[in-house]
Amino acid sequence: MITLAVVVILLVSLYLYNTRTFKYWEQRGIKHDKPLPLFGNNLKGYIFIKSMTQIAHDLYWKYPTEKVVGFFRSTQPELIIRDPEIAKRILITDFDYFWQRGFTPHKTVFEPLMQNLFFAEGDIWKLLRQRMTPAFTSGKLKAMFPLIVERAEKLQARALAAAVDGKPVDARDLMARFTTDFIGACGFGLDADSLNDEDSAFRKLGIKIFKFGTMDIIKAIAKELFPELLQNMKVWVRLEGEINELVGEILRQRNHKPVGRNDFIDLMLECKQKGTMVGESIEKRKPDGTPEIVSLELNDGIIGAQVFVFFAAGFETSSSATSYTLHELAYHPEVQKKAQDEIDRVLAKHDNKLSYDAVKEMTYLEWVFKEGMRMFPSLGFLLRRSTRPYTFPDLGVTIDENIKVLIPLQSLHNDPKYFPEPEVFRPERFDPEEFDSANKYVYLPFGDGPRACIGARLGLMQSLAGLAAVLSSFTVEPAPETVRHPIVDPKSAIVQSITKGLPLTFRPREK
C-alpha cells in the first residue's frame, strides 16, 4: 500500500513538473495549441514525423490572423512570429534584447566547436564578429574568386561525364560536391577533388557533419526534454578530433602565418596576427551602467571552430539552395532559357571565362537564385532568445528572460500576402523595380541585423558561379524519377534537406 502511494505521488509530481509552464501563453492571451505533458507541442518533431520548419509552418497557417503564436518545445515556452514588423524589432531595432542565437541551452558548458560565429553567444560572439567582419570585404572576396572558378570548371567536367552516359544526375549530390571542393579550397587550402573522387575524405567529412547517429539524436532530444539535468551533455564531440587535427595540420604547414593564398585559413591567421580582441561587453555592466571591457585570444581552438562552421554552414546551405534552383529551372524551361541567354551574353564579354566581374553582371541569374531561396530557404527559420524581459509594443505582451522566438522563413516566403501566387517560380519578383521594399523583413534567407550571415556575399557569389557553370554548358530537365514537389526530410534540423536527392537530366548545350 505504501509502495502504491509512493508511485502515485511520483506520477503526480512528474505530471505537475512536466506541465508547470503550460499556462504561460494562456496567461498572456497568446493563442496556441494545447500542449501534451513532457512533449509540449513538439511530439511530431520528437518522433520525426515533421521538422521544426514544418511544425512552425502548420501553426503559422492555423492561426492566420495572429501576429504571434505560442508554442511549447517540451516544457519550454517559445513564440512563433507571424508579423514582419515584429521580426524587424527582434533582429534589428531591439537586438539588445535578442542577441542570443538560442541553439545552445542557457548557462551550459560550452563545446569547443560551438565557439563559432553562428552558435557562440555573448562576448565571444561580439568580439569574433568585430574582428572577422573586415575579412569578408569585396576585395577579399574578389581575391578568393579564382579558387571558386577552378572548382566550377571541375563541376562542368563532372556533369559532362554523367551527361554523356545519359544517366540522371542527382543535382543535390553534384552541387554538394562542388560546394565541398569550394570549401576545401577557400576554407582549408586543400584540393579536395570531391567532384572526381567518389570516396573523397573531405566529402565524407561533409556528410558526417550532418549525418546524426541514433545516439546523437537521442542526446539532442534528451537535452530539450530535460534541459536542467543534461545541460552539460556535448553533442558535437564526435567531430572535435577530426576538425582540430585537420586544422592543426594546416596551421603547422603554414607555420601559423598567412601564406598569401587568400583562403579562409589565411584570413583567420591575419585576424590572429592583429593580437588580442578587445571590446565593450554585451553581457556585463559596471555599477554605473556602462559596459565592461572584455578581451579574447584567437587561439587555434577558436580558429578550428570558425573553420568548422565555415564548412558546415556553407556546405549544406549552398548545395541545398543551388540544387533546388536547378530543380525549379528544369520545370521552367522559359526561365532557364532566359538565364542561359544572359550567361552567354555576359561570358562573351569576358573571353568566355567565369570571373568575379562576370558573375556580378548576371543580374537575372541572381533573381533566379533568390526566387529559389524564396520558395525553399535553406534555413527554414531563424531563432533568437531573449536576454531579459521584453515587452512587444505591438502586442502589449511581456515575455521573460530566456524565451526563444522563432521567425518561420518558409512560411513568410510563401505567404500570398507578401508574394502573390507564391507557388509560381517567377524570378522577376526580385527586379528592383518590382520588389516591394515592405517585404525586406519577410524575405530573410541570410537573416538580418548584427547576427545576419557574415558570409552571405561569399555564399551568393559561389552559388551563382556554380549555377553559371552548369547552365552555360547544360540544359537541365526532369528525369523519369524526378519528383515534382520534393519531400522534405522530417529529421531536418537547422538546415532543410530533401529525401532521396534531386535527380535531373543534364543535356549538353549546342552553341
Q: Is 100 helix (H, G, I), strand (E, B) or coil?
A: strand
Query: 3-state secondary structure string, 262-296?
Result: CCHHHHHHHHHHCCCEEEEEEEEECCCCCEEEEEE
> Per DSSP, what are the bridge partners of residue 291?
285
Grid cell 550532418 is found at: 210
Concatenate the DSSP letters of all residues of 246-260 into one string.
HHHHHHHHTTTS--S
Q: Which of 406, 396, 388, 382 lies closest to 77, judged by CA?
A: 406
Q: Flag whether 453 is marked binding.
A: yes
> Per DSSP, what are the bridge partners of residue 398?
391
Whole-Å CA distances, 264 to 182, 312, 460: 11, 14, 16
CA-CA-CA-CA torsion for 217, 220, 225, 228, nearest 10 degrees?
Answer: 150
Angstrom distance (rounded) from CA 293 to CA 285: 9
- Amino acid symbol at 235: V
CA-CA-CA-CA torsion for 350, 355, 358, 363, nearest 10 degrees?
Answer: 160
| Buried residues in 208-218 as b, exposed as e (16+ CB within 10 A) | ebeebeeeeee
Which residues make Cβ contacts (< 8 Å) with residue 38, sequence separation at least 6? 18, 74, 75, 225
Compute CA 401 distance to the chain's CA centroid, rounded to the nearest angstrom.
25
Q: Which residues are annotated as a binding site?
A: 453
Q: Which residues are annotated as a binding site for heme?
A: 453
